[in-house]
């Protein structure tokens, strides 16, 4: 895992608004506090999310973009890119690979944070098909696509200089071995999650539950009781 002093830019690629806040918002807050530029790339607008049947699907996309923009600001992120793929229908195809590769070439990050492409049979929600597809497409974009100067010939992406990402950090995967202490950022992470009003029937109950998750993750990795952690599988992609 690269030290923060070795990182200038980070790109976070997730399937839906709020995925980054569940998986990595505390780490992102640590990074922005350290002066690292962090950019969010959202594959979908989360059009299929929520529980309120009175909200037209055509409006949900704009609602969730606004929620994610507010959540990002809570942890120091102001640059977001929405790719506009359909929520619930994300596929690992060349269009998605090209879209993500283009963002990688634009941002030029040392680290990409994304979702695990591996299904975790102990986590139904964590293994949403969109999450798995986003993780796999991002891995394909990191290698070989974004670094291959001959990929996507004739496309706008091909007109951007190729870029090699140094590390990929997969959030909450079944084989996550690394962690980041987020004890001092936990309240900011919670505030970011609470920005997603359209997704939470009972925000207070959610907060109580997820605070317990992140504290348990820290204990499971030998950290003192009362601390909190986010976990990653770190892959050297140099």
Tens place of pLDDT for every residue, the chain, 238 residues?
A: 999 999 999 999 999 999 999 999 999 999 999 999 999 999 999 999 988 888 888 899 999 999 999 999 999 999 999 999 999 999 999 999 999 999 999 999 999 999 999 998 888 888 999 999 999 999 999 999 999 999 999 999 999 999 999 999 999 888 899 999 999 999 999 999 999 999 999 999 999 999 999 999 999 999 999 999 999 999 999 9
- From the CA atom positions of the chain, what is the Rg in Å? 17
Scanning the chain, the segments in alpha helix (DSSP H) are 19-23, 25-33, 57-74, 94-107, 129-140, 186-194, 203-220
Per-residue pLDDT at 226: 95
Strands 178-181 and 167-171: unpaired
State how many domains the chain has: 1
Per-residue pLDDT at 24: 98
Q: What is the pLDDT of residues 66-115, one digit of tens each?
A: 999 999 999 999 999 999 999 999 999 999 999 999 999 999 999 999 99
Q: Which residue has the tokens 């504290």?
A: 215
> 207: domain CATH number?
3.40.50.10320
Q: How many residues does the chain have?
A: 238
Which residue range is the domain that position 127 belongs to? 4-236
DSSP string covering 143-208: IIITT-TTSSTTSTGGGSPP---SEEEEES-TT--EEEE-GGGHHHHHHHHHT-GGG-S-HHHHHH
Per-residue pLDDT at 126: 81
Comparing CA positions, the residue from 198, 153, 220, 211 lying closest to residue 45 is 198
Write out the two tokens for 9: 């830019």
Q: What is the pLDDT of residues 45-68, one digit of tens each?
A: 999 998 888 888 889 999 999 999
């Amino acid at each position: 895992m690269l030290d923060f002093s070795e990182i200038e830019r980070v790109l976070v690629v997730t399937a839906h608004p709020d995925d980054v806040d569940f998986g990595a918002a505390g780490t992102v807050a640590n990074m922005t506090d350290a002066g690292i530029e962090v950019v969010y790339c959202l594959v979908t607008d989360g059009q299929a999310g929520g529980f309120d049947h009175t909200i037209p699907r055509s409006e949900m996309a704009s609602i969730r973009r606004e929620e994610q923009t507010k959540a990002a600001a809570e942890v120091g992120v102001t640059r977001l890119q929405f790719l506009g793929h359909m929520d619930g229908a994300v596929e690992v195809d060349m269009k998605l690979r090209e879209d993500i590769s283009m963002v990688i070439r634009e941002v030029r990050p040392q680290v990409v944070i994304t979702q695990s492409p591996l299904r975790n049979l102990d986590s139904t929600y964590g293994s949403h098909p969109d999450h798995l597809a986003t993780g796999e497409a991002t891995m394909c974009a990191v290698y070989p696509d974004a670094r291959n100067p001959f990929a996507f010939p004739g496309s706008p992406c091909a007109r951007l200089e190729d870029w090699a990402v140094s590390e990929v950090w997969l959030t909450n995967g079944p084989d996550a071995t690394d962690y980041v202490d987020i004890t001092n950022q936990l309240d900011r992470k919670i505030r970011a999650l609470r920005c997603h009003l359209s997704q939470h029937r009972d925000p207070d109950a959610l907060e109580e539950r997820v605070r317990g998750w992140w504290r348990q993750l820290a204990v499971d990795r030998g950290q003192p009781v009362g601390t909190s952690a986010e976990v990653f599988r770190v892959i050297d992609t140099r």
